[in-house]
Amino acid sequence: MTQQNNIRAGIALMIAATVVFALQDGISRHLAGAYNTYMVVMIRYWFFAAFVVTLALRTTGGIRATAHTSQLGLQIARGVLLATEVCVAVYAFTILGLIESQAVFICYPLLIAALSGPVLGEKVGWRRWAAIGVGCVGVLIILQPGVGVFNPWAVIPLISALMFAVYGLLTRYAARRDSAATSFFWTGVAGAAAMTVVGVWFWEPMQIHDWGWMGLLCVSGVLGHWLLIKCYEMAEASAVQPFAYFHLMWSAILGITVFGETLRPAVIVGAGLVIAAGLFTLWRERRQG
């Protein structure tokens, strides 16, 4: 992948990707509310696998060159972990809604920063630890532990964020020896294989109009990944990553207008702290880089 230096185009593509992913979350919530989560994620992964295989066929050397890796176990573990995380995230949408789930999930960059030291041996200075602490306070404000209205199910998106953070760290580790194309290929193929083994046992008849939503879900998943690929071709990740937080805004709009969710003041304050801490962490990483 040849990277250009067009930050404006990269930012535009990142914002477009957040719109598509928010739409994907909304459709996932609708379908998982009516059908089994494993089946919904399985069909979504079938299209994802078809997408990565198509990309591999278009590269020099084809599938054999793209799939070649000296750390097959790690690549399969990454794919299975991400597929499991998607199931947990979609389940959280059905239990808590889009707003509450996304407000907690956006802490994953802070978890990556916190775990990068013990897992990857990267140096985490006191400033980043302070930002991680602020982000944790934000999550606690959202979850409101010890308060009578605390919903224990709110821990689900936190588990999802932790799983996604570990997936991100494994991806960084895999990148030391494998290309991004190889990691992307195994993410789709391993995830699709794992979901097929589980999902076929939960197959349910789907109404005709919901197959339309399922088709849109699959297309949005492919489109979202394509937009991210083009985004990172246009600009460095550190320049465009802060705009990924637009995902929360689109999800909030969708949750309020379509699903009738409410935006609690605690969610606004907590999410604001998490985003501020995440942006500071990204800024520190870019400065040190």
**Confidence band for 228, pLDDT divided at 50, 70 and 90:** confident
Residue 4's pLDDT band, with cuts at 50, 70 and 90, is low
149 band by pLDDT with thresholds 50, 70 and 90: very low
The overall average pLDDT reported for the chain is 84
Q: How far apart are CA 143 and CA 185, in angstroms?
A: 36
Residue 144 has pLDDT above 70, yes or no: no
Q: Which has the higher per-residue pLDDT, 285 or 127?
A: 127
pLDDT > 80? residue 163: yes
Q: Is the pLDDT of residue 145 over 70?
A: no
Q: Average pLDDT of 176-180? A: 86
273 vs 282 pLDDT, higher one: 273
Amino acid at 57: L
Q: Which of 201, 258, 230 is nearest to 29 (CA)?
A: 258
Please name the residue that has the structure tokens 């349910």.
204
3-state secondary structure the chain: CCCCCCHHHHHHHHHHHHHHHHHHHHHHHHHHHHCCHHHHHHHHHHHHHHHHHHHHHCCCCHHHHHHCCCCHHHHHHHHHHHHHHHHHHHHHHHHHCHHHHHHHHCCHHHHHHHHHHHHHCCCCCHHHHHHHHHHHHHHHHHHCCCCCCCCHHHHHHHHHHHHHHHHHHHHHHHCCCCCHHHHHHHHHHHHHHHHHHHHHHHCCCCCHHHHHHHHHHHHHHHHHHHHHHHHHHHCCHHHHHHHHHHHHHHHHHHHHHCCCCCCCHHHHHHHHHHHHHHHHHHHHHHHHC
pLDDT (0 to 100) of residue 56: 92
- Mean pLDDT confidence for 278-289: 69
Residue 21: Cβ within 10 Å count: 22
Lowest mean pLDDT among 123-137, 174-188, 265-279: 123-137
Residue 86: predicted pLDDT: 94
Q: Please say if the pLDDT value at position 103 is more than 50.
A: yes
- Whether 120 has a pLDDT exceeding 70, the answer reads no
Mean pLDDT of 52-69: 91
Quote the tokens at residue 23.
């739409």
Q: Judge whether residue 178 has pLDDT over 60.
A: yes
* Whether the predicted pLDDT of 148 surpasses 50: no
Instruction: For residues 242 and 67, give the distance between their C-alpha atoms in angstroms, rounded to a whole number.
Output: 31
Average pLDDT over residues 201-208: 93
Residue 289: band (very low, low, confident or very high) from pLDDT cuts 50, 70, 90: low
**What pLDDT was estimated at residue 188?**
93
pLDDT at 132 over 80: no
The answer to whether 17 and 228 are in contact (CB under 8 A) is yes
Q: What percent of the chain has pLDDT over 70?
A: 88
Lowest mean pLDDT among 1-5, 234-238, 254-258, 264-268: 1-5
